[in-house]
Structure 1
C-alpha cells in the first residue's frame, strides 16, 4: 500500500504548527509504511524528512482545483492532507483530509502570511459552517488531532464521513531535565501574537512577579511588538526574542520555571506537550483543549485574570511542589507519540483501501 502525504504546507525556514505536524507525521509514518510526499517548493525539503517526493503546484494556486490530475498518475492508494483544502475533483485514490480546530469561526482573523485574496476568502469561508461541510465530505475519512475538536465537529455536524484522531505529539524525546536541579526565575511563551492568544494578560500578570522574566520567543512584527511593549507594567521584565532556534528553545525550556499560555482558544497546544516532555511545568488557561493535553500535570487559570496567572506561578516557587509537577509533566507527555499517530494513520489507510475495494466489488 502506497501512502502519499501532502507536505506543501511546510514552511521554508521555520516550522509553524501545521508545518511541524505534517513533517513529523511523514517521518514517523515512513518508518512503518511506503510513504512519499508532495511539495510545492524545493526549499521545503530543508524541514522535511528524506523520503521520495513530487514537486507540484502550490496548494494556494487556482490549479489546486484540478490537482488530482497530477496525483492520479503517482499510483498512491491513499493521499493524506494535513489541511482540508486539497482539491479532489476526479481523484482515483483514497483521501484523508484534516481539520485541526475550529478557532477561526470564533476568531476569524486569518494568518498574515496568506495572500490578500486568500485572506478575504478565509473570512468569508468562516462566516458559516456549510462550506466546511462541503470540503470535509469530499474525503473518505476526516482526521483531527484531539477529542476536543472531534466533539465540536459532532456538535456542528461538520461531516458525514468517519472521523479518526491522528494526534499531535512532541518531537522525539530528549532526556528530561533533572528536577533536583531546579529552575531559574523565567517564564516562556511560545506562540503567535494574534489577539486570541491573549499575551496581554501574561504581560499584565508580570506586575506581581517582579523577580521573574517573561520571555516571548516567537517572531513578531514591529507594530505588534510596539503595542505590547507599551503594556509592560513598571518594574516588570519582558524580553522579546523575535524567534529562536529549536536548540535555543530546548535550552530555555530546560532552565525555565514554567511554560505559560493564556490563549482563549487553541487547536491543540503543542508547546505544552513539548515543555512537559522535558519536565517543564505548564501554566495554562482553563480551556477544554488544554485540559485534554495537560491532564493533571498542568496548572489551569482563568485566562482573563492576571492575578490568577501570577498566583499559579507563585506556587511553583516551592521546590518540592515544582519537582513533583516536573515529574508528573514527563509522565503526561509520554502519553503522546508520533509513532502511535503513524500507526493510527496506517490503520486508517488500510480501512480506506478495504472500503474502496468493497465498493468496487459491488459495482
Structure 2
C-alpha cells in the first residue's frame, strides 16, 4: 500500500514504475490499491504457485517478495526475509515446514539480486547461521502506522466484561512466544487484583505443538480483530511481550503506537527495536516481570512517561519509510545494476 501511494503521488523514486500484485486464483485482497493492479495467476497454491507459476508469469520482470521466500528459478528477485527462526528456534515449526524453509530460504537469498530484512539483528543472524551468503542490502523496519486505522469503538468485545485492571498478552502457541511465563505471572498478579487477558491462535501446520497451562486469573479471547486489539491495548495497564526471539516484534510496536506501555523480553531483536521506550526483562526471570508490572500499575507518572516514549519510538517505524528504501533496489535490479 505504501508503494502504491508513492506511485500515485508520482514520487521521484517511483518514476516509471509499473507494478501488479500477483496472487493465486481465488485470492481475496482485503486492502485498497489505486495504481497497482491485482492479477490472478495460475491454478496452484503454496510452494508450487510460488516456485513455478509466479516466475512463469513474471517472464523476466522484477519480482518483489515480502514474505521470506522467492522463486529460485527464472525471476529477478528483491526479497525480504524476516528472521532466522528456522535455524535458531527450529522446535517452533513442524518438520515439513522446517525442511522446506531450510532448502528454499538460503536459495532465495543467494539467488535474489537484492535482499532486505526487518532489523540489523536479523541480518546479522541470517549471515551467522549460514542462511544468507552476504549482509542485507537494506534494513526495512516494519511499520506501525497502520494501527492508526484501528477503532476500539468498532470492537466486538464487551469492554464492560473485561477486568477493571488487566495486563494484555498476544501470541500464538509457538514455544518461542514463551506464553508459559504469562501463566506463571498471572498467578502472581491475582492477589494484586490484576487480571491477564491473552489473545491469539495457532497454526499446527507451521508451529509445533505447545500445551496451554491453566490459571484462573487468565481470560482467553482467542483470535481477535484489529479493532479488538485497539480496545484491549487501550484498556490494559501494559502489554506483555515475553518472546524468546523476534526478528522485529511488531505487536510491541503496535502497542506503543496505540499508547499502551510495554514490558518486553530483552532477547533479540527487542533492544534494537524498542530501545529505552519499553521495560526490557529477562524472559526467564518471573520476578523481574512481576516487579515491572507492579510498578507500572502503582506509579502513574512512570507509566505515562513510558507511554510517551513508546509513542515517539513507534512513530519512527512507518511503511512509507521502508517503501522508500525498497524502491531504489527495485530500480537497480530492473536496470541490471
TM-score, structure 1 normalization:
0.76
Asked if the contact 1:66/1:89 (under 8 Å) is kept, the reply is no
Distance change >3 Å, CA 237–CA 328, structure 1 → 2: same
Counterpart among 155, 161, 171 of residue 128 in structure 2: 155
The answer to whether residue 74 in structure 2 is matched with residue 90 in structure 1 is: yes
Match of 1:353 in 2: 334
C-alpha deviation, 1:276, in angstroms: 0.5
The reply to whether residue 297 of structure 1 matches residue 283 of structure 2 is no
Q: In structure 1, how many angstroms separate the alpha carbons of the residues matched to 2:92 and 2:47? A: 14
Q: Secondary structure at the match of 2:212?
A: helix
Q: Deviation per CA, 1:77-135, whole angstroms, max 9, x where unpaired?
A: x21012343324233xx311221101121322465xxxxxxx54433356x6x764333
C-alpha separation in 1, matches of 2:283 and 2:107: 34
Superimposed CA distance per residue, residues 285-306 of structure 1 (whole angstroms, 9 cap, x where no aligned partner): 1113111111101001111122
> Contact 1:176–1:277 at 8 Å: present in 2 too?
no
The answer on whether the counterparts of 1:272 and 1:293 sit within 8 Å (CA) in structure 2 is no
Inter-partner Cα distance in structure 1 for 2:83 and 2:7: 25
Deviations 1:192-241 (A, max 9, x none): 1111111011110122211111111112589x9994243x2xxx521111
Matched, 1:35 2:15: no
Other structure's SS at 2:52 match: helix
Q: Secondary structure at the match of 1:87?
A: coil
Match of 1:196 in 2: 176
Structure 2 residue ranges without an equivalent (≥5): 152-162
Number of the residue aligned with 1:174: 148
Give the 3-state SS of the residue equivalent to 2:146 in structure 1: coil
Q: Which of 220, 225, 240 in structure 1 is aligned with 2:220?
A: 240
Moved more, 293-302 or 132-141: 132-141
Partner of 2:157: none
Corresponding residue of 2:312 = 331
1:275/1:27 CA distance change after superposition, 3 Å = farther
1:258 matches 2:219: no
Q: Look up the SS of the partner of 1:254 in the other structure.
A: helix
Task: Measure the CA separation in 2 of the matches of 1:310 and 1:297.
Answer: 18
**Secondary structure in structure 1 of the residue aligned to 2:90:** coil
Q: Which residue of 1 aligns with 2:324?
A: 343
Q: In structure 2, how many angstroms separate the alpha carbons of the residues matched to 1:35 and 1:131?
A: 25
Q: How does 1:193-232 map to 2 (within 5 A)?
A: 193-210=173-190, 211-220=193-202, 227-230=211-214, 232=215
